[in-house]
């Protein structure tokens, strides 16, 4: 859960990037001229795109190009403007490199090279690995609860937070799935799904940090704690999806939730006598060091590996440690509860 604190900061940086639609690259007159000519002629140098064939009224002659492709390729939805921007960007970066200039951002993003239509292949791969690590963590937690630890007579786990961590596991898988999709293809829909999933996960992580650090076990008390936060999260997600994707406001929401849960877990790790509290510290400190990658934000090496991709890589071992703590917590609480029943 603490590792999702850093997702909050990822959203902050994403929000800041989103507000800076005009970057040095797309402000370049040579690049702008190339895109304008491509959208009229359908060609960038010797590369021409069939989906840039327009009639006099600006409507595609053959209809949306992606509907003419095989079904397994239709998910990309690369349109004429996207391809024109992409290939003009590649050509302009080659020219800049020949002149000894470094990469610049285009429309708020570094110049990545596609692989089989995937926009940021390394980030997609690491997002998928994070998803796999969360699935492994949740599955091992499930097996521990119901096959290794003692159960009550009604076959339910003694661990009071079992069902809450199952929800956490689902939200984590959902968040990383849409992260992979968003890095595969950045469009309005995938952006909103990625943001919404991450905000939901971050908000639920805050709820979990409150319930566990304050040892809230009564169902009525849990509802009283969670209800106002869930209402706010629902309203916020509806707002950014159906009214306005306000990057600044979303940034503020993410920062408050992220900092709040980080403080809660840090204080709890410092005052509790939990035998695995050191794992919390590893995740907090490790995540803090990993965050330096986001602050540094260097351009992608060879067009593939940037700071954000490496940040995704660092969360993989932190996720393993985090789920290890959750399993330890289940064993610790179950052991204590069994001692009280004897």
In angstroms, the CA 324 to CA 138 distance is 10
d(CA 329, CA 335): 10
In the prediction, which pLDDT does 157 show?
93
How far apart are the C-alpha atoms of 86 and 111, rounded to whole Å? 8
Rounded CA separation 9/259 (Å): 9
Looking at the chain, how many residues does it have?
A: 342
Q: What is the pLDDT of residue 324?
A: 97
* Long-range own/partner contacts, residues 138-143 (CB < 8 A, 24 or more apart): 138/165, 138/166, 138/169, 138/172, 138/173, 138/323, 140/323, 140/327, 141/165, 141/169, 141/323, 141/326, 141/327, 141/330, 142/166
Tokens of 192: 């909103």
Mean pLDDT by 10 residues, the chain (342 residues): 49 43 76 88 83 52 48 58 88 90 86 88 95 98 96 91 96 96 88 93 95 94 96 96 86 84 89 91 83 76 88 92 96 90 68
Single out the residue of 161, 166, 174 nearest to residue 138, CA to CA. Answer: 166
Write down the pLDDT at residue 258.
81
Q: Residue 47: enclosing H or E segment and its boundaries?
A: strand 47-48
69-105 as b/e, with b when 16 or more CB fall inside 10 Å?
eeeeeeebbbbbebbbbbbbbbbbbeebeeeeeebbb
Position 187 scores a pLDDT of 82
Q: What is the pLDDT of residue 159?
A: 95
pTM of this structure? 0.84
pLDDT recorded at residue 233: 96
């Amino acid at each position: 859960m603490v590792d999702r604190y850093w997702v909050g900061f990822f959203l902050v940086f994403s929000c800041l990037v989103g507000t800076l639609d005009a970057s040095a690259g797309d402000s370049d007159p040579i690049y702008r001229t190339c895109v304008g000519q491509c959208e009229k002629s359908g060609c960038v140098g010797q590369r021409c795109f069939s989906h840039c064939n327009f009639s006099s009224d600006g409507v595609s002659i053959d209809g949306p190009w992606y509907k003419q492709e095989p079904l397994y390729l239709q998910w990309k939805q690369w349109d004429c403007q996207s391809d024109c921007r992409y290939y003009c960007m590649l050509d302009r970066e080659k020219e800049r490199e020949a002149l000894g200039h470094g990469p610049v951002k285009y429309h708020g993003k570094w110049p990545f090279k596609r692989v089989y239509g995937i926009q940021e292949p390394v980030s997609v791969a690491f997002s998928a690995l994070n998803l796999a690590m969360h699935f492994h963590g949740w599955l091992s937690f499930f097996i521990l609860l119901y096959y290794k630890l003692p159960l009550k007579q009604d076959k339910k786990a003694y661990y009071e937070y079992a069902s809450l961590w199952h929800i956490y596991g689902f939200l984590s898988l959902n968040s990383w799935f849409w992260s992979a999709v968003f890095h595969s293809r950045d469009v309005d829909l995938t952006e909103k799904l990625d943001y919404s999933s991450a905000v939901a996960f971050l908000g639920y992580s805050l709820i979990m940090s409150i319930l566990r650090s304050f040892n809230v076990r009564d169902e009525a008390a849990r509802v009283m704690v969670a209800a106002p936060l869930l209402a706010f999260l629902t309203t916020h997600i509806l707002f950014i999806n159906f009214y306005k994707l306000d990057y600044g406001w979303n940034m503020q929401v993410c920062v408050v939730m992220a900092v709040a849960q980080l403080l809660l877990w840090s204080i709890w790790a410092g005052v509790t006598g939990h035998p695995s509290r050191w794992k919390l510290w590893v995740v907090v400190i490790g995540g803090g060091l990993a965050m330096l990658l986001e602050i540094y934000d260097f351009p992608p090496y060879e067009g593939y590996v940037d700071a954000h991709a490496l940040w995704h890589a660092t969360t993989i071992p932190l996720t393993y440690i985090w789920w290890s703590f959750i399993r330890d917590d289940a064993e610790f609480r179950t052991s204590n509860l069994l001692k009280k029943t004897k």
